[in-house]
Structure 1
Amino acid sequence: MTSGADSVVSWAPGKLYIAGEYAVVEPGHQAVLVTVDRFITVRVTPCSPAGGNAGTISSRRYAAGCLPWRRRPQDGMAEAVEGDDDYVVSAIRVVEALVVQGGGRLRSFDLGIVSELDEADGRKLGLGSSAAVTVATVRAVAGLYSLSLDDLSVYKLAMLASDAVQPIGSGGDIAASAVTGWVSYTSPDRVWLRRVRQRAGALGAVSDLVGADWPGLSVRRLAAPSLRLQVGWTGAPSSSPALVAGVQAGSHGSDDAYAVFLRDSRDCLASLVTAIEDDDTARIMRQIERNRALLAGLSRISGRTIETAELTQLVEIAREHGAAAKSSGAGGGDCGIALCPTDTDLTALRAAWRAAGIRPLDLSVHAHGSPTDSPAKVAL
């Protein structure tokens, strides 16, 4: 994050799931993710309120190019002038609740967003743009109010903001964008989280929740293994919330099979994290293959397609070149990943993907403190 006399700029990276998708939606279950060197950048600039609005949010994600926001008469918190509140408005509200609880005075400001996480035509790449924009907004608005937040506090605030908009997510993408690098994440008990918020009220719970231990939650950065990450995009965007909801609905009709999936996923992820910590490439690759098989079983019991024909082709090509590969995230399109030993011919692998209509993405793993930590190429 950077700041000047008149504005604060923050950014958050996109993410990819390595393993643990779907299981991590259940409290106490684990996933491994990485963040990549494409970013969402947010600039917050103080302004004078006009026409009853506290400011505007500028982004190509809005049909009109901007979204005016104002303060609610009942409590002074942010809300969209038209339509439902989104992740950005929710993030503003959560951070400002912390400001109010600390006795601070709220300000008016404009907020600008630039994203590298989607195609120019707006198609999703599956890099977690909703999580990244929430994290970047939390950091930028906190910077405006001179709040000092560690990565875990940023995660908690962004998770509270996201849960108010889309309660089905695990928060793994938020944790990755906040902590960065290779991240081990175990999801919290979100029923507990909502119960605490309901008891305390919209404003009263935020500071207490940021300082509290969340049941089930664990977030930590892992040392990067020697395997090289390659990412292929199928060109078919998918809706993660819709897929997750569909898989959960279908799976809960087969409770015994779903329980076995969760048990086996827990064991797989524990083995994977240990293998990553040991930098044991053979064991890492075995667990990636195992996780792919577990997702295939989940697809069968839920009746929902996770690994599409294009993703299967991506995986098979990667395996022919000596890599371990699988879908990444909710599946149904978007991206697949390949973890490649150091002797893998990456040029040949990427060429084979292109020949099959799969687009290799030029991505590298990003972590705080890396040369890409300040994406100066993004202008606002």
Structure 2
Amino acid sequence: MISAQAPGKLFIAGEYAVVEPGQPAVLVAVDRYLTVHLDVGEHAADVGRVHSSAYERGPLVWAREQGTGRIVVEHDPRDYVISALRTVDRLRAERGLAPEYFDVRIVSELEDQAGRKFGLGSSAAVTVALITALDEFYRLGLTRLERFQLALLATIAVSPKASGGDLAAITFGGWISYTSPDRAELLAHLDAHGVTATLTAPGWQLLRVRRLPAPGDLQLLVGWTGTPAATEILVAGVQHTGEPYADFLTSSRACVQDLVTALETDPSSAVDVLRRARRLLHQLERHSGILIETEMLRDLCEIAERHGAAGKPSGAGGGDCGIVLARASASVTGILAEWEARDIRHLGLVVHPAEGGADEC
């Protein structure tokens, strides 16, 4: 059996803007995990199975089509797991490796006991973990960057607007700044030329992943509202044209750059930058008419403000998690007590440390 684990993630700043190629964001990996177990299994001769609580009717059965070798599943779901399987299988075939069947079992800490997701990037985590396991299974010898690239190709096959920031944070760990590549160009190249050629395609030119120092002078708090959010629907609801949106992109870039500078030189000043990031989301809300900061997220942020900290929604908002940055000297007891009184659950997360590889790509 092969096992691979992937952490959760949180957006600190730059969400929404980062869906545009070349736009930056700051993210962090956190210590809640999703684990993929890959086993040849008793059915390895003819089919493979994916076992997960996400499949209420039982395991998802997959097989290869006669002649083409393409992975097929019954009722073909719009599914990140299947997309990851297909992406790596195309690479396997391009390298001339023999196809094999195996069973996959997914175990996740990124949801509560009732199956409600925390908003920590479970789709990204399962994609990264499965590709890591398949890399070992087929002995592909992928670099960390190549695993990220495959994860992004698999993800945009399902959700073309996905920025890939969550995949980068989960793959590289720790605090990172991330700039998104041109995913539309990558998809077109993938369709025309295959996986191997796309790993070095021009569409990656805008990609930047840069490790940031862990800010020792800051405390990171994460509160969960208990309400899941539909990230893709929220992102799709943004008006991606016009002067207000162009101004938002310019302001978001400047805010993210200032946050990176703060984290590298004066972490305590990141509290003020996070307040700016929240105000930018308010502006996007007014321009687009979408609900980013729900009532509970507003309470989460305002409580933090009353105690001298800064809070904002993490990611698309509309539910899920909010984050707070507080200076190291600050007492957070009052924040946590008020959160509890308003049924905001403190997740008690810490940063999943940066993992091996270059500090920048």
Match of 2:4 in 1: 10
Q: Deviations over 1:99-122 (max 9, x none)?
A: 221121111100000000011111
- Correspondence list, 1:276-355, <5 A: 276-282=263-269, 284-355=270-341
Shift, 1:53, TM fit: 4.4
Rounded Cα–Cα distance in structure 2 between residues aligned with 1:322 and 1:65:
49
Secondary structure of 1:56's aligned partner:
strand
Q: What's 2:128 paired with?
A: 135
Partner SS, residue 329 of structure 1: coil
Residue of structure 2 equivalent to 1:373: none
Measured after TM superposition, the shift of residue 95 of structure 1 is: 1.2
Residues 65-108 of structure 1, C-alpha deviations (whole Å, 9 max, x = no match): 31001112342132223332511111111112222211211111
- In structure 1, C-alpha distance between the alignment counterparts of 2:273 and 2:225, rounded to whole Å: 23
The two structures, once aligned, show a CA RMSD in angstroms of 1.6
2:191 match: 198
Contact 1:30 1:187 in 2 (8 A): yes
Structure 1 residues 184-232: Cα deviation after superposition (integer angstroms, max 9, x where no partner): 11011112112212222xxxx2112224450311112211112111000
Deviations 1:250-301 (A, max 9, x none): x23x60110000011111111111111114312x112111111111000000
Please say if residues 53 and 69 of structure 1, whose CA atoms lie closer than 8 Å, have aligned partners that are also in contact: no
Aligned to 2:237, what secondary structure does the other structure show? helix
Q: 1:173 aligns with which of 166, 169, 177?
A: 166
Matching of residue 245 in structure 1 with residue 232 in structure 2: no
Distance 2:251 2:14 in 1: 10
- Give the equivalent residue in structure 2 for 1:57: 50
Tell me whether 72-81 or 297-306 shows the greater mean CA deviation. Answer: 72-81
For residue 261 of structure 1, what is the aligned residue in structure 2? 248
Q: Secondary structure at the match of 2:54?
A: coil
Matched residues in 2 for 1:14 and 1:65: separation? 25
CA deviation string 1:113-146 (max 9, x = no partner): 0000011111111111000000000001111011
Query: How many residues were matched structurally?
Result: 354
Rounded to whole Å, the distance in 2 between the matches of 1:85 and 1:232 is 30
**How far apart are the structure 1 equivalents of 2:72 and 2:13?**
36
Q: 1:279 to 1:75 in 2, by over 3 A?
A: farther
Q: Percent identity?
A: 48
Q: In structure 2, what residue type is equivalent to 1:353? A: W
1:3 alignment partner in structure 2? none
Which whole-Å CA distance do the structure 1 matches of 2:201 and 2:119 have between them?
31
Moved more, 125-134 or 159-168: 159-168
* 8 A contact 2:50–2:105 mirrored in 1: yes
Q: Does 1:152 align with 2:142?
A: no
TM-score, normalised on structure 1?
A: 0.90
Contact 2:173–2:352 (8 Å) recurs in 1: yes
Aligned to 1:184: 177
In structure 2, how many angstroms separate the alpha carbons of the residues matched to 1:108 and 1:156? 24
What CA distance in whole angstroms lies between the structure 2 residues aligned with 1:79 and 1:16?
33
CA distance in 1, matches of 2:267, 2:31: 25
Could you tell me which of 69, 79, 82 is aligned with 1:86? 79
- Conserved in 2, the CA contact under 8 Å of 1:14 and 1:38? yes
Report Cα offsets for 1:141-196 as digits up to 9, x if no partner: 11101122222111100111111112121111111111111111101111211221
Q: For the Cα contact (< 8 Å) 1:70–1:81, is it kept in 2?
A: no
Judged with a 3 Å threshold, the aligned counterparts in structure 2 of structure 1 residues 238 and 274 are, in CA distance, closer, same or farther, namely same
Partners of 1:366 and 1:42 in 2: CA distance: 18
Alpha-carbon contact 1:48-1:108 (below 8 Å) kept? no
- Cα distance in 1 between the residues matched to 2:79 and 2:67: 19
Report the residue type matching 2:229 in the other structure: S
2:198 paired with 1:209? yes
The code of the aligned residue for 1:122 comes to: G
> Whole-Å Cα distance in 1 between the matches of residues 297 and 267 of structure 2?
26
Matched, 1:270 2:257: yes
1:220 equivalent among 210, 215, 232: 210
Q: Which amino acid aligns with 1:219?
A: V
Q: For residues 296-333 of structure 1, what are the alpha-carbon distances to aligned partners after superposition, in whole Å with 9 as ceiling and x for unaligned?
A: 00000001111111111101111112211111010011
Of the three residues 352, 357, 361, the one matched with 2:347 is 361
